[in-house]
Amino acid sequence: MFRSLDFIYAPTQNADEELSFCTKILGGEAVFSIRAFDTRVAAVRFGEGPLLLLAEHLEGEQPILIFRVDDFREAVKSLKERGIEGEQLEIPHGPCFSFRTVGGQRLAIYELKRPEMNTHFTGRFDP
């Protein structure tokens, strides 16, 4: 069911400060930093791994690991048949279903319906 881990969606109090740390201290590559709807989301890439999204609006302290699936409806149906409860939402790339493991880990699945979003925010750095 899980194709690839594409995003790590991490809560932060200050996305700009986190982005600076991740790039200047850890050597990551800044991808974007956008302000919308009274919040900021910044993205950093480390090597060939998933994109780290630093989100000021995300509640809690744990990140959400977002995995791509080929067939969103079928994957959600399969999870629900296994007793998984969660929340369906939209991310810029497509439909998403977020849930927790029995140990409280935050996971999500999504289908890449809008591949153009992979480059839509790239290089955008809002003040």
> Mind listing the pLDDT tens digit for each residue in 19-67?
999 999 999 999 999 998 889 999 999 999 899 999 999 999 999 999 9
Look-up of token digits 């048949």 = 81
What is the spatial distance between Cα 51 and Cα 49, in angstroms, rounded to a whole number?
7
Q: What is the pLDDT of residue 21?
A: 98
- What is the pairing mode between strands 39-45 and 29-36? antiparallel
User: Which one is the CATH code of 4-116: 3.40.190.290, 1.10.3720.10, 3.30.70.600, 3.10.180.10?
Assistant: 3.10.180.10
Q: What is the mean pLDDT of the chain?
A: 95
Q: What is the pLDDT of residue 37?
A: 81
Domain ranges for the chain: 4-116
Q: What is the pLDDT of residue 75?
A: 98
Q: What is the pLDDT of residue 118?
A: 83
> Does residue 124 carry a pLDDT above 90?
yes
> Mind listing the pLDDT tens digit for each residue in 80-117?
999 999 999 989 899 999 999 999 999 999 999 999 98
- What is the pairing mode between strands 94-100 and 86-91? antiparallel
Q: What is the pLDDT of residue 36?
A: 84
Q: Which residues pair with 99 in a beta bridge?
A: 86, 107
25 exposure class (CB count in 10 Å sphere: 0-12, 13-18, 19+): exposed
pTM attached to this predicted model: 0.91
